[in-house]
Amino acid sequence: MATNSAPPRPHPPGERRGGALVAAAATAGFIFGLGAFTFRYGEGLSYFSTDPRACKNCHVMNEEYESWAHGPHRAVAACIDCHLPHDFIAKYIAKADNGYRHSKGFTFMDFHEPIRMIDRSIQTLQANCVRCHSDFVHDIVGGSSTHEGAILCTHCHRQIGHGGRP
């Protein structure tokens, strides 16, 4: 008995890629959905605002927020006035950098408690102190706040922005 053993027909070119395309779309959808859920759960949109309450979305910032709320700067400055550059592009670069470091730290629980500022943030804080108080401190710090070992405003005025701890 003879068998008709014709070679299998090859699939049309687009048919083979269909499964891979569905898998890639499902993977992309999963990653996008997970990112959207995380962004929503972490109240990501709040970080685009200027509302100081956004800064206490994380429990480690509650003390800082409460001390600011009872401190002397509450009437004249919000978190972003002291802790972020005032240039539009630099501000959003700093927000992205801080957001990345904070979300990484809080996700992997590898942040220092109490929370500490990094060198870039300290430089920004110093620049904002001098910017707001230049009439009073210009002669004192005139250029000396940027070199290594300079005495920063927070050296003597550590509790000014946040006041005493409640």
pLDDT tens, residue by residue, 92-111: 999 889 888 887 887 788 87
Residues 6+ apart with CB under 8 A from 111: 60, 102, 105
pLDDT at 124: 92
Measured between alpha carbons, how far is 81 from 62 in angstroms, rounded to an integer?
Answer: 18
pLDDT at 11: 61
pLDDT at 130: 87
pLDDT at 24: 92
Domain ranges for the chain: 25-156
| CA distances to 67, 92, 110 from 103, in Å | 23, 16, 10
Q: Which amino acid is at 135?
A: D
pTM over 0.85: no
- For the domain covering 25-156, report its CATH number: 1.10.3820.10
Least confident range from 8-12, 54-58, 67-71, 153-157: namely 8-12
* Mean pLDDT to the nearest integer, 109-114: 79
